[in-house]
Amino acid sequence: MEIGLVELSRLQFALTAMYHFLFVPLTLGLSILVAIMETVYVMTNRPIWRQMTKFWGTLFGINFVLGVATGITMEFQFGMNWSYYSHYVGDVFGAPLAIEGLMAFFLEATFVGLFFFGWDKLSKVQHLVVAWLVAIGSNFSALWILIANGWMQNPVGAEFNPDTMRMEMTSFFEVLFNEVAQAKFVHTVSAGYVTASVFVLGVSALYLLQDRHRDLARRSIAVASAFGLAAALSVVVLGDESGYSASHTQKMKLAAMEGMWETHHAPAPFTAIGFPDKEARETHYAVEIPWVMGLIGTRSLTQEIPGINDLVAESEDRIRDGLIAYDALMTIRDQRDATPQSVRDTFEAHSDNLGYAMLLMPYVDDPREATDEQIAMAADDTVPGVAPLFWAFRIMVALGFSFIAVMAYFFWRASFRQMQFPRWSLYLAVAIIPTPWIAAELGWFVAEFGRQPWTVDGVLPTAMSASHLSIADLLISLAGFVIFYTVLFVIEVRLMVKYIRKGPVQDVEETEAWQARHERRLKSSGVDPDAGVATPAE
Amino acid sequence: MILHELIDYDILRVIWWALLGVLLIGFALTDGFDMGVGALLPFVARTDVERRVAINTVGPVWEGNQVWFILGGGAIFAAWPPLYAVSFSGFYLAMFVILAALIVRPVAFKYRSKREDATWRSRWDWALFAGGAVPALLFGVAVGNVLLGVPFYLTDSLMPMYPGNFAAKFLGLLRPFALLAGVVSLAMLLMHGAAWLSLKAEGDVARRARSIGIVAGLVAAAGYALAGLWLALGIDGFVLGDVAAGGASNPLFSEVTREGSWLSAYADRPWIAIAPAMAFLGIAMAVLGLRSGREVSTLLWSKLGITGIIASVGLTMFPFILPSTLDPTSSLTVWDASSSHQTLFIMLVVTAIFMPLILIYTAWVYKVLWGKVTEADVTENSDTVY
């Protein structure tokens, strides 16, 4: 494949987006875990929980700032590198992005400063409220971003306006309550909660292995495993929900993820393992589990899931239909207000397939002059890379299920085995720290690579979306981002390690004050404080 | 939904044009002093403790302030999609430099004092300097270029095109008038940062900030006056032909010619002279305030001056938002570069709900953080502050 402007633009977007998502999941989950810890502190007044809040809060801060910094790129990159996309769908896509700023990002960013600097300036309850506002703000951010992304996957509530040559919003509520967006939102934030839980679990396990900060570590494991178990279950359930909605909104993506070339009579089997071959159009050595795919995809035993070959044939029909819309659009563009109503009616009738006609743009300047062969090639282009999707999806799912197992195990040991963790389990917890990030990145890969060749599914091809920049522009910015982001990443990881090594700051004064109060309380209730007193750490 | 018919399309467009101004001004007034403090850092603070004092005056608030910029981007995307598409891709490499500066800045705030190492800290101090000075300069250069007109055109399908190679395009932005606008922008934010430091810091830091701020204010006022003169004598304006009321947002539907002067707006709408008057008054009072050591009022006057400068650009150009030199017909104006009627309405409702909330809680945060940052604050809380 020749590396052109579009490929470079895609590469840059993929790199910056995936880099951004190294920090986001931890922000989403850790903000809530920290707020939970502070809630326990405010309710029990035990200094250990304040120590935990501050310690995990410090790590949260180091991570948060890079999430914010790399998010700036995301906000402007659409306009910089995807200017036709921005023009074409800004009327719909821009709204959730702007609302994210108004409703969510302002909240988290305004209060995050107070979270770190307000310990001595706020009352306990005020500070707790600030912590929760940061957590809520971060999570609302994710909601609006996923509404925007969900619309790219399933563009509801909008139609093409031939006078302005772009998609315009027809129903804000449909965009808002897009089923794909809702499923993706819960799936994504849950994945963030799992990430943070695995992180807290792993760092705490490290402390237990080193026999340091046992009080902080054991409590942190208790919180993280309970929260992580709920989140890990939610990720899988909502992942299934995403699969279900894909079966009627993004049939091609689903078929490609499954390496399902032919339409199978219902209920379709699930290919657990196999080697998809795009040339031969079959999946070699497939190990199939009967019925499962049909059940996941359609929740019925009778509905069929179309295979890739049938979907390509359907795409070809849609390209031909889209050409009628394209022809009418050219007339409207030239004649403007003088366009006969009949032409406008023709356009309306076929405008749903306009995007398919634009798939021909890489082959021919005027899609109306495309040959049958070119139409067939464009229809073939609607198949994304099957093998990468097939494998990425399976690794993600396997990781997802293993998180449930790990979290369940630690939850059980923490709740019913007096927090006694065998050493092998602690080593395991440390070793799996990177895996939720792998799962999350693969998830985004499946979602975005699986949507190709579209930026907006069925509406706007990726090849049309990019800005008309020069290759030199792209090479400069791409090299800049790679160097710049690598340096920042190295610095970030080293700081994280430094602060994990350093461990929590013991708050001596407050711990002693608490101990004194605690002993007074015990005395007044008639218990001898010397006989097996709970230390503030417990 | 028919609710949006409640407000006329063209009225919504004017409201969103004004809101665009509000966001840019909000950004300049809040994040402006953060950038100003960053750009002043090497000059007003010499020892490590002094630097930490200066940094911590903005430490708890820069993050919220920066959201004005993010929200500005989001609002332009939602309300003015063609502007978002054309400007950010047209200024591609300049935008990349701004992004790099704005990415390094948050990291520098957060990471600078996390290690004792003097080299480490000095590197991040330079990052803070660049993160403040570079965007402050380039935003002004961008505004200067908008006034001069930008070499782009739209195809029949409204695809933005910018002929020419990357180096010529990037260097082409650095035209003398645009550089002057950059100097005005940098100087006014230096003055603003100085006014902030004079309020939030003490001793040498505040004193040095005040003396630099006075010079910066004078440079800003002189540069602004010079730019006005230049516009009057040496730069052509743009004139918009007939537009249909409530017409479709397609820039190609209206005729634009390049003639006359931008300043003829002051003959057509004399009341807009209030903006430059605010600019000069605000700067003059801020400079006097810096000299006599007044604190709160100086910051407010500085805000007034900046508001006047930014508002004057928008009011002078109205209804133009982004004129094209290559093909004036492609120019983006208030009447033909907005979102749809419905989107503008929905976004207005959302803004009407959330903007007051934002202002209220931001004000509360500033109230909590009220008071000077002292050297003792920094040395006693060495582990927790920046």
Place of tokens 């739209």: B154
Instruction: Provide the pLDDT confidence category of residue A528 given band limits of 50, 70 and 90.
Output: low
Q: Which chain A residues are within 8 Å of B81, Cβ to Cβ?
A: 86-87, 90-91, 94, 166
Are residue A206 and residue A278 in the same domain, yes or no?
Answer: no
Identify whether A196 is part of a domain: yes
Structural domain span for residue A151: 5-250+386-502
Mean per-residue pLDDT for A227-236? 93
Instruction: Provide the pLDDT confidence category of residue A537 given band limits of 50, 70 and 90.
Output: very low
Phi-psi region of A339 (alpha: psi -120 to 50; beta: other; left: phi over 0): beta
Identify whether A535 is part of a domain: no
Q: Which chain B residues are within 8 Å of A165, Cβ to Cβ?
A: 157-158, 250
Identify whether A511 is part of a domain: no
Phi, psi at residue A273, to the nearest 5°? Answer: -140, 145
Which residue of chain A comes nearest to B88, CA vs CA?
Answer: A80
**Axis-axis angle for helices A47-81, A471-502 (nearest 10):** 180
> Would you call B167 and A114 a contact, using CB atoms and an 8 Å cutoff?
no
> Would you call B249 and A171 a contact, using CB atoms and an 8 Å cutoff?
no
Best interface-test mutation with A: which of B104, B110, B326 has the largest number of A CBs within 10 A?
B110
Are residue A328 and residue A473 in the same domain, yes or no?
Answer: no
Q: What pLDDT shows up at residue A527?
A: 59
Q: Helix (H, G, I), strand (E, B), or coil: what is residue B173?
A: coil
Q: What pLDDT shows up at residue B313?
A: 96
> Would you call A83 and B86 a contact, using CB atoms and an 8 Å cutoff?
yes
Amino acid at A303: Q
Q: Which chain A residues are within 8 Å of B67, Cβ to Cβ?
A: 101, 105-106, 109-110
Mean per-residue pLDDT for A392-421? 92
- Which of B34, B372, B21, B25 lies closest to B189, judged by CA? B34
Amino acid at A493: V
Q: What pLDDT shows up at residue A498?
A: 92
Q: Which chain A residues are within 8 Å of B77, Cβ to Cβ?
A: 78-79, 86, 90, 93-94, 97-98
Q: What pLDDT shows up at residue B242?
A: 85
> Would you call A101 and B74 a contact, using CB atoms and an 8 Å cutoff?
yes
Amino acid at B151: P
> Would you call A172 and B346 a contact, using CB atoms and an 8 Å cutoff?
yes
Q: What pLDDT shows up at residue A2?
A: 54
Residue A535 DSSP symbol: P
Identify whether B385 is part of a domain: no
> Would you call A110 and B81 a contact, using CB atoms and an 8 Å cutoff?
no
Phi, psi at residue A530, to the nearest 5°? Answer: -80, -15
Are residue A472 and residue A341 in the same domain, yes or no?
Answer: no
Are residue A188 and residue A242 in the same domain, yes or no?
Answer: yes
| Structure tokens belonging to residue B60 | 């708890």
Nearest-CA distance A265 → chain B (Å): 42
Are residue A202 and residue A150 in the same domain, yes or no?
Answer: yes
Option in A86, A113, A473 nearest B60 (CB)? A113
Which residue of chain A comes nearest to B101, CA vs CA?
Answer: A69
Option in A69, A101, A336 nearest B67 (CB)? A101
Nearest-CA distance A250 → chain B (Å): 26
> Would you call A164 and B249 a contact, using CB atoms and an 8 Å cutoff?
yes
Are residue A271 and residue A210 in the same domain, yes or no?
Answer: no
Total domain count, chain A: 3
Total domain count, chain B: 1
> Would you call B343 and A498 a contact, using CB atoms and an 8 Å cutoff?
no
Which residue of chain B comes nearest to A114, CA vs CA?
Answer: B60
Q: Is the pLDDT of residue A129 over 80?
A: yes
Identify whether A332 is part of a domain: yes
Identify whether B386 is part of a domain: no
Mean per-residue pLDDT for B240-251? 88
Residue B219 CB neighbour total at 10 angstroms = 18
Are residue A179 and residue A283 in the same domain, yes or no?
Answer: no
Structural domain span for residue B321: 3-380
pLDDT in tens, A16-50: 999 999 999 999 999 999 999 999 999 998 989 99
Best interface-test mutation with B: which of A165, A174, A329, A331 has the largest number of B CBs within 10 A?
A165
Mean pLDDT score across all residues of chain A:
89
Provide the percentage of residues in chain A whose pLDDT is more than 90: 64
Helices and strands (DSSP H and E) totals, chain A? 20, 6
Q: Is the pLDDT of residue A310 over 60?
A: yes
Q: Is the pLDDT of residue A400 over 80?
A: yes
> Would you call A87 and B383 a contact, using CB atoms and an 8 Å cutoff?
no
Identify whether B154 is part of a domain: yes
Identify whether A522 is part of a domain: no
ipTM: 0.92
Are residue A195 and residue A52 in the same domain, yes or no?
Answer: yes
Q: What pLDDT shows up at residue B1?
A: 53
Instruction: Provide the pLDDT confidence category of residue A264 given band limits of 50, 70 and 90.
Output: confident
Determine contact, residues A321/A350, Cβ cutoff 8 Å. yes
Identify whether B25 is part of a domain: yes
Q: Which residues pair with B160 in a beta bridge?
A: B154
Are residue A131 and residue A31 in the same domain, yes or no?
Answer: yes
Size of interface A-B (CB pairs under 8 A): 253
Q: Is the pLDDT of residue B78 over 50?
A: yes
Mean per-residue pLDDT for A120-145? 94
d(CA A306, CA A23): 37
Determine contact, residues A103/A60, Cβ cutoff 8 Å. no
Which residue of chain A comes nearest to B164, CA vs CA?
Answer: A470
Q: What pLDDT shows up at residue A118?
A: 87
Q: What pLDDT shows up at residue B270?
A: 95
Are residue A21 and residue A63 in the same domain, yes or no?
Answer: yes
d(CA A200, CA A517): 30
Are residue A166 and residue A109 in the same domain, yes or no?
Answer: yes
pLDDT in tens, B24-76: 999 999 999 999 999 999 999 999 999 999 999 998 898 889 999 999 999 99
Q: Which chain A residues are within 8 Å of B343, Cβ to Cβ?
A: 91-92, 94-95, 168-169
> Would you call A119 and B61 a contact, using CB atoms and an 8 Å cutoff?
no
pLDDT in tens, A133-191: 999 999 999 999 999 999 999 999 999 999 999 999 999 999 999 988 988 899 999 99
Are residue A34 and residue A177 in the same domain, yes or no?
Answer: yes
Residue B363 CB neighbour total at 10 angstroms = 10
